Structure 1
Amino acid sequence: MMLGNLHKWMQPIETPVPALFAPATSYITHEPYGVALVIGAFNYPVVLTLSPMIGAIAAGMECV
């Protein structure tokens, strides 16, 4: 589901330009933030480790 929509989500979005900068164009581009390190304990529930990892992956970051 996500991979099917990825090309649509990653396309630049054209935004309006003020009249003062009339010949210019502006775009919003989506770029990943970087790398996230998620450290979890072996004796805790798995959800406590996976919850921040899911949020980081949803934001476009790589997880270690």
Structure 2
Amino acid sequence: MIGHIWSGIYSVMGSSVMESVYCDFTKPIDDAGFQKWIGYANVRQIIARLFLFVQRTSPLIIR
């Protein structure tokens, strides 16, 4: 419903936790086989911060 078109495994928000489901986009949305529950996603809160610094040392050449 949010724009995905490829069948595959997706993480969706369940009642209180993230869940993994397989969505088969070859079937209609109201078909019983459209979404198959796989299990709970192992999501952890990341406390550490990540910093990334990138610097170009040569000119950008676009051909």
With the length of structure 2 as denominator, give the TM-score of the two structures. 0.21
User: Which of the pair has more CA radius of gyration?
Assistant: 2
Greater RCO, 1 or 2 (C-alpha within 8 Å, sep 6+): 1
TM-score, normalised to structure 1's length? 0.21
* Structure holding more helix per residue: 1
The structure with the greater share of residues assigned to strand is 2
